[in-house]
Amino acid sequence: MNTMTLDEALNHHFGYSSFRPFQREIAQSVLAGRDVLALLPTGGGKSLCYQLPALVQDGLTLVISPLIALMKDQVDALRESGIAATYLNSSIDAATAVERIADLDRGAYRLLYVAPERAANPSFVRALNRWNVRLLAVDEAHCVSEWGHEFRPEYRRIAELRRHLPQVPVLALTATATERVRADIERALELRSPLRFVASFNRPNLRYSVFEKRDASKQLVEWCSARASESGIVYTQSRNSAEELAARLSAAGIPASPYHAGLTASDRTRNQERFIRDDVRVICATIAFGMGIDKPNVRYVVHYDVPKSIEGYYQETGRAGRDGLPSECALFFSGSDAAKQRHFIRQIAGEAERERAERLLRAMLDLAATPHCRRQQMLNYFGEEHSAPDCGNCDNCLQPAERIDGTTAAHKILSCVYRVRSGGGFSTGEQHLIDVLLGRLTEKVRSWRHDRLSTFGIGAEHDRPAWQSFISELLRSGELEKDAERRTLNLTPEGLTALRERRTFTFFKPRVVARTNKRRRHIELQPAADDDLFQLLRTIRKQLADEHGVPPYVIFSDATLREIAAHKPKTLAAFRAVNGVGDVKLERYGQVFLDAIQ
């Protein structure tokens, strides 16, 4: 019988002396046999909620996790902390599987990770009866809900597993779920009178900013160049963009790899592995990447295209700063992105699905365009009040957006689009429209006789980038739409009404990533570390990680290295007092790092 307490297990294996919000309560609840639905933010320490109970009670904790690629890293991290864990999935050969099943039969493991598909395998289900399963943990539980942003049909089979283990409590964990998704999780997993623990969705260490797209790929290179020594994820909508941006960053001296569904499974695994092990700095990915990624030292996430929903945006930005250190989330935005997303929505078959997609997109576009606190608007979306009107860590709170009267500019644009269309019977693209407004006598303007339109030259008071910004706003708010194939601008019924009714418009001056100053905006890191020592410790960590065949963060997190670099412990006892240094890691690595400090 195991006699270790939750506090002792937390300190001995993981090196922490205090729990994060709700970790203790969740662990105590499942140990008492209760079903639990836990909503903790990404980086909020969800995995400890099932790992700690596994360490203080006999038997096996079964963890259902959606990504095979993650299981090895999670198991490696547990083993580095002296915890007996393993996984069964399609990445291991038959002989290894037989060996692990024999070890499970003799009770050699505390935790077993499997993919949801295995839950429906009859021979696996029969084996569970031999293994004294004491807890069933379902990670990324929102995948069970059709109302969630990452629905996976195979998650619906987990309830069948539950029926085979009627006395075993179920812990469902997710980092993002609206009230509707929460109810769906409880129903689909057949949770019995579950206790709900909902931590704050606020990630105060993340800085949210939105920048207008001008020359987007150049902006991205400048953003990443200013953070060249840090790890980052760039999310983009298309596979081609993922490839092109990775190539462009690499050419600029920032090692980057692509990740998308068009790559072979082995290429995807290799690229993800290189990123996790700090062999490349940046991964340029479609949303296929990152669910449950454990890498805690991602210092920035860039959305190169607007996400489809706030849930998706929250989940993806949540992959930054999981170690609690300050990190940045940048959204590169243009109204053309909004028009592109609306075009995709129009292709959706069912009316109810179309309306749902439009509703999710509208909330995301409102977040991108708001002049108010972005954090507050995002938290309100998840049903959480943010007490302070100013969060102090989003672009609008740090530097309030400059409001400008856009009525005249909007009417000039809408009128010009209308007259170009009615004058020639066809629509044109954005750049040609701006040429007309600016009074430029280009070859097309002359040949199409657009120099004779009443709107020719009426926009000389603004430059081209300003007109691009105004058009972007009208695309976002829905007065203009862009043809997805021909890229031409057209008035929507709302735009025609706005023109006829002389509706007023207020625009906000857009922010553009600085083109000249490549120095990173300073973010205060606590505790203040000796940066040269911190970089040396990172180098040692990378060497040790490569020797042990694990990602660097499995040795120690950046937060732990910063604390070491700040306090410069001189003895093993002082080193053990650092957050994140448990007994096993002290024994394995303590002296190596003390030598470096000396």
Domain ranges of the chain: 6-198, 206-401, 404-508, 531-597
* The pLDDT of residue 289 is above 70: no
Q: What are phi and psi of 562, to 5 degrees?
A: -65, -40
Domain 6-198, what fold? Rossmann fold (3.40.50)
* The pLDDT of residue 371 is above 80: yes
Q: What is the pLDDT of residue 518?
A: 36
* The pLDDT of residue 519 is above 50: no
Average pLDDT rounded to a whole number, residues 436-459: 93
What residue spans of 110-264 are helical by DSSP H?
Answer: 122-128, 158-164, 179-188, 216-225, 239-251
Amino acid at 483: D
Domain 206-401, what fold? Rossmann fold (3.40.50)
* The pLDDT of residue 517 is above 60: no
Identify the CA nearest to 478 among candidates 373, 358, 374, 356: 358
Identify the CA nearest to 62 among candidates 154, 164, 150, 146: 164
Q: What is the pLDDT of residue 148?
A: 65
Average pLDDT rounded to a whole number, residues 75-88: 94
pLDDT above 90 as % of the chain = 60
The structure's pTM equals 0.80
* The pLDDT of residue 72 is above 90: no
Q: What is the pLDDT of residue 514?
A: 57
Per residue in 156-208, pLDDT (tens digit) is: 889 888 888 999 999 999 987 778 888 999 999 999 999 999 988 899 999 99
* The pLDDT of residue 468 is above 90: no
Q: How confident is the model at residue 476 (pLDDT cuts 50, 70, 90)?
A: confident
Report the alpha-carbon distance of residue 13 to residue 416 in Å, rounded.
67
Q: What is the pLDDT of residue 91?
A: 86
* The pLDDT of residue 343 is above 60: yes
Q: What is the pLDDT of residue 285?
A: 92
Q: What is the pLDDT of residue 337?
A: 86
State the sign of the Cα–Cα–Cα–Cα dihedral 538, 543, 548, 549.
positive
Report the alpha-carbon distance of residue 65 to residue 481 in Å, rounded.
41
Neighbours of 395 (CB within 10 A): 18
Judge contact between 197 and 26, C-beta under 8 A.
Answer: yes
Per residue in 198-249, pLDDT (tens digit) is: 988 899 999 999 998 888 999 999 999 999 989 999 999 999 999 999 999 9
Q: What is the DSSP string of 183-196?
A: HHHHHHTT-SS-EE
Q: How confident is the model at residue 147 (pLDDT cuts 50, 70, 90)?
A: confident
Place of tokens 């409001």: 403
Q: What is the pLDDT of residue 205?
A: 94
Task: Give 387 or 360, the one with higher predicted confidence.
Answer: 360
Q: How confident is the model at residue 521 (pLDDT cuts 50, 70, 90)?
A: very low
Q: What CATH number has the domain spanning 531-597?
A: 1.10.150.80
Q: What are phi and psi of 557, to 5 degrees?
A: -80, 165
The mean predicted confidence, pLDDT, of the chain is 89
Amino acid at 27: A
Task: Give 523 or 450, the one with higher predicted confidence.
Answer: 450
Task: Give 25 or 129, the one with higher predicted confidence.
Answer: 25
Ranges 146-150, 327-331, 373-377, 569-573: which has the least confidence: 146-150
Contacts 24+ apart (CB under 8 A), 391-398: 391/204, 393/204, 393/205, 393/206, 393/207, 393/208, 394/207, 394/208, 394/209, 395/207, 395/208, 395/209, 395/210, 395/511, 396/370, 396/371, 396/372, 397/373
Judge contact between 591 and 572, C-beta under 8 A.
Answer: yes
* The pLDDT of residue 1 is above 70: no
Identify the CA nearest to 65 among candidates 49, 47, 81: 47
Domain 404-508, what fold? Arc Repressor Mutant, subunit A (1.10.10)
Question: In CATH terms, are 404-508 and 531-597 the same topology?
Answer: no
Average pLDDT rounded to a whole number, residues 304-310: 93
